[in-house]
Chains A and B, each alone.
Chain A
Amino acid sequence: DGGITQSPKYLFRKEGQNVTLSCEQNLNHDAMYWYRQDPGQGLRLIYYSQIVNDFQKGDIAEGYSVSREKKESFPLTVTSAQKNPTAFYLCASSPRDRGPYNEQFFGPGTRLTVL
């Protein structure tokens, strides 16, 4: 049963603490993505990775960091430098068999609240 797993579903942290959000996929997809969603806004791209050991900044990368050591995993760290970290974070993956013309498959999301 293939899919994308994000954990935890809800996460609370104190201001100033770094926090890492997990994303795992068993779809054998090469590409993985991190988005955040804020109320009334669309999904905004934070980071993406087309292949293991390589990743690129998206539109709002400041205050975030990622790693891609394994094909299945793409963790996102929200650092204390992120000024407004409270949001709904979504991880996605996609194959590359149709070049850039592949749909992305999303995980269930993690709601991060910074107190």
Chain B
Amino acid sequence: DQQVKQNSPSLSVQEGRISILNCDYTNSMFDYFLWYKKYPAEGPTFLISISSIKDKNEDGRFTVFLNKSAKHLSLHIVPSQPGDSAVYFCAASGGGTSYGKLTFGQGTILTVHP
């Protein structure tokens, strides 16, 4: 049972344009959401998070939007840069899940073309 889903395996974007990565979840008890960026053969690095009491959180070029009624979140990267090319994972935690446990989506490969 995949509780966190990233339905787009890959996304290709031109440098300078907006990248939008999507994530859906099924567990209504999730109340904290995170985005991680991962390069091949490296560990993921934390990008940005949002709690369920907000619908938007912004950090520089990265903005995360949360739509609780639709159980959907998205990560916007503006403007996209070639160095943003990586795999992006969304993750969720909180509520009825085990303390501090994160549930990850399958990841989306973002390629930003110069």
By a beta-carbon cutoff of 8 Å, the part of chain A in contact with chain B is 4, 6, 31, 33, 35, 40-45, 48, 50, 56, 58, 88, 90, 92, 94, 96, 99-109, 111
Contact = CB atoms under 8 A, between A and B. Distances in A.
Q: When A and B form their complex, which 9 residue pairs have the shortest distance between CB atoms, in order from nearest?
A: A106-B43, A42-B104, A43-B104, A103-B46, A42-B106, A100-B100, A101-B32, A106-B44, A100-B94
Contact of B99 (A43, A50, A88, A109): A50
Given A40-B9, A48-B100, A100-B100, A108 B43 contact: yes
A103 B34 contact: yes
Interface in B22-64: 32, 34, 36, 41-46, 49, 51
A42 B15 CA distance: 26
B81 interface: no
- Please report whether the interface of chain B is mostly helix, strand, loop or mixed according to DSSP: loop
A44 B104 CA distance: 7
Interface residues of B, number: 29
B107 A100 contact: no
Contacts, number: 72
B41 A94 contact: no
Interface string B99-114: 1111111110000000
A55 B94 CA distance: 18
B100 A31 contact: yes
A111 to B, nearest CB: 7
A108 B100 contact: no
- Please report whether the interface of chain A is mostly helix, strand, loop or mixed according to DSSP: strand
Contact of A105 (B46, B49, B99, B100): B46
Name, among A6, A92, A96, A106, the residue most crowded by chain B CB atoms within 10 Å (CB to CB): A106
Nearest to A35: B104
Contacts of A45: 101-103
A48 B106 CA distance: 20
B89 A42 contact: yes
A50 B99 CA distance: 8
A43 B9 contact: no
